[in-house]
Chain A
């Protein structure tokens, strides 16, 4: 596995890192080969573009960065906390407190309204609730408004909304309560090019407002110009 890292800006001069992953190695099963990952260092508030074809281990890297999995070698530090030192329950709480996640699709809990999906992080995390001003409902409505979700859709069943709207609601949820890191796993792959650019602009703009770092995974290299850092994962395929 080969990988390259390009950095358009100098890394942070101070120790204020959003994310620092070094010497990461992970094995799904003892019979499978050890996956090795390039080091990833992102200063607070800066964004990273993680490019790689399918099968390049993107999902595994995101699992390690989100604390869903623990690396077999190396370390992941997010906002100064070393994830592998935490127990699984503490990692769940850390993820609830400091990480927002956007998937490729099926991002929303189908039986909750758009608004309830967006306020979900505030119900799972006290930290996110305390960082939400003035209150979860108003903050969620503001975000939905900024992400151009019409007001009459807020209380609607999310399964009736378009993919683009669902992805923007997922972005609103990830941004709720201003987490330090937002992990976005190919969130635009189901969108057409107009929607893709609009989505990216909105996501990065709102993340900048809230001081959140975005780790954006995509195979589409043309999007990388929006980001401060680029990490390339070389897959076998």
Chain B
């Protein structure tokens, strides 16, 4: 067949009808952008999700399921089933296999954000993403009992600056009626945005956690028994229990050995989980949702393609004369029919290119804003093979739907007389 002629005729015909087709092309571009965008974000979010915590070999907490432990220690979702005794934590500190430990004590909140009590090992050893440490955007880490460091999201949302004093609340929840009003905390630092749950918490020392709960043994403040900051400064505080601990090992080969030892601990019922394994299990659960989302987007693209065919079929009646001319001049039925397929594919390709441009432009435009406002870190990267494959399905699907008007034309022109107009 006259391939070159077919292509040049199809392209000339597309250009001739550009006004009508521009709208179809726009619809297709938007739906392809959506499809590609969702697939892209899926990969990005998965990446950022699985790099919520890195460098930590084990998370140790009271005995519970691994998802539960992961959710309340890393994502600050849900509550701890139990605490682990301070003496157990001390024993872990002496374990020769363990390199470092970050104690985590949860339970209080600040205007809906979790209060995480920890020690100086947190800034030193906690890692997220590609082994990135948590760093300070402003100020410094707590050095006093009543110092607090805010996650980037908290500081941004509530507009806090270092030097301000804040009152923490007893227990969780956004509106707590029992506040630790006698023990205000001074903000000493604000963390750099990480795009992880670290941004959505406030950090105090373990001593601070203990100090503000003196006099709260019954669950509410007993007047006269709570401490004032002045009194507290002269004292040393040793916690009875902590919620969990992040564990870094001297050698990763010891991970499973220590995990087994901790899970079988006779002194206290403990659970030790591998964060990576738990994260991928959690992602498998959530993955269903994003697969459904991708499926829906796929249907959006199919809808646009159906719209494209509808327009092409409508245009077909207008094209009856030109088809009669081409046939009379000696063009085969195949050539005339192939014009439809070529036009469909060409439109799909143009839409794909535009979608790539739209996607890249949008991403460049909104990435800084997303990071600032939502702590979501998106970067422009080359498409991965899956995304290319997904993009390639669009012209392939266009070729398939193009066969509809093509076969209609082919059937009609086969039985047509000279100069006869199809569609009549």
Of A88, A95, A106, A173, the residue contacting B414 (CB under 8 A) is A88
List residues of chain A with CB within 8 A of the CB of B417.
59-60, 62-63, 68-69
Q: A103 and B325 in contact (CB under 8 A), knowing A59-B418, A123-B2?
A: yes
Of B2, B15, B321, B327, the residue contacting A68 (CB under 8 A) is B327
Q: How far is the CA of A89 from the CA of B327 in the complex (A)?
A: 11
Asked if A124 contacts B419 (CB within 8 A), the reply is no
Asked if A109 contacts B333 (CB within 8 A), the reply is no
User: Interface size class for chain A?
Assistant: 35 or more
Segment from B5-13, B137-145, B156-164, B295-303 that makes contact with A: B5-13
- Name, among A60, A88, A101, A109, the residue most crowded by chain B CB atoms within 10 Å (CB to CB): A109
Asked if B326 contacts A109 (CB within 8 A), the reply is yes
Determine if A22 is an interface residue (Cβ-Cβ < 8 Å).
Answer: no
Asked if B16 contacts A110 (CB within 8 A), the reply is yes
Q: How far is the CA of A103 from the CA of B324 in the complex (A)?
A: 10
Q: How far is the CA of A63 from the CA of B5 in the complex (A)?
A: 25
Nearest CB to that of A99 among chain B residues?
Answer: B330
Asked if A101 contacts B333 (CB within 8 A), the reply is no
Of B329, B334, B419, the residue contacting A185 (CB under 8 A) is B419
Q: How far is the CA of A104 from the CA of B420 in the complex (A)?
A: 11
Asked if B13 contacts A111 (CB within 8 A), the reply is yes
Of B13, B325, B331, B419, the residue contacting A92 (CB under 8 A) is B331
Nearest CB to that of B413 among chain A residues?
Answer: A68
Determine if A83 is an interface residue (Cβ-Cβ < 8 Å).
Answer: no
Q: What are the interface flags for A43-64 relative to B under an 8 Å C-beta threshold, 1 for contact and 0 otherwise?
A: 0000000000000000110110
Task: Count residues of B near A (Cβ-Cβ below 8 Å).
Answer: 27
Asked if B418 contacts A185 (CB within 8 A), the reply is yes
List residues of chain B with CB within 8 A of the CB of A121.
329-330
The smallest beta-carbon distance between B228 and chain A, in angstroms, is: 87
- Name, among A89, A121, A124, the residue most crowded by chain B CB atoms within 10 Å (CB to CB): A124
The smallest beta-carbon distance between A119 and chain B, in angstroms, is: 11
Q: What are the interface flags for A68-91 relative to B under an 8 Å C-beta threshold, 1 for contact and 0 otherwise?
A: 110000000000000000001100
Determine if A120 is an interface residue (Cβ-Cβ < 8 Å).
Answer: yes
List residues of chain B with CB within 8 A of the CB of A173.
329
The smallest beta-carbon distance between B331 and chain A, in angstroms, is: 6
Determine if A93 is an interface residue (Cβ-Cβ < 8 Å).
Answer: yes
List residues of chain B with CB within 8 A of the CB of A94.
330
Of A59, A110, A120, the residue contacting B329 (CB under 8 A) is A120
Determine if B377 is an interface residue (Cβ-Cβ < 8 Å).
Answer: no
- Name, among A65, A107, A173, the residue most crowded by chain B CB atoms within 10 Å (CB to CB): A107
List residues of chain B with CB within 8 A of the CB of A108.
325
Determine if B261 is an interface residue (Cβ-Cβ < 8 Å).
Answer: no
Determine if B68 is an interface residue (Cβ-Cβ < 8 Å).
Answer: no
Asked if A89 contacts B332 (CB within 8 A), the reply is yes
Q: How far is the CA of A65 from the CA of B5 in the complex (A)?
A: 26
Asked if B329 contacts A96 (CB within 8 A), the reply is yes
The smallest beta-carbon distance between A109 and chain B, in angstroms, is: 5
Determine if A112 is an interface residue (Cβ-Cβ < 8 Å).
Answer: yes
Give the contacts of B369-424 with A (CB-CB under 8 A): 414, 416-420
Q: How far is the CA of A196 from the CA of B385 in the complex (A)?
A: 64
List residues of chain B with CB within 8 A of the CB of A95.
328-330
Q: How far is the CA of A99 from the CA of B327 in the complex (A)?
A: 12
Determine if A66 is an interface residue (Cβ-Cβ < 8 Å).
Answer: yes
Q: How far is the CA of A132 from the CA of B177 in the complex (A)?
A: 96
Asked if B333 contacts A107 (CB within 8 A), the reply is no
* 6 A-B residue pairs with CB within 8 Å: A63-B417, A63-B418, A68-B417, A96-B329, A101-B328, A121-B329
Q: Given A96-B330, A111-B15, A124-B2, output 20 extra A-B contacts at Cβ < 8 Å.
A: A59-B419, A59-B420, A63-B420, A65-B418, A68-B417, A68-B418, A88-B333, A88-B414, A92-B327, A92-B331, A92-B333, A93-B330, A95-B328, A95-B329, A96-B329, A101-B329, A103-B324, A104-B419, A109-B9, A121-B329
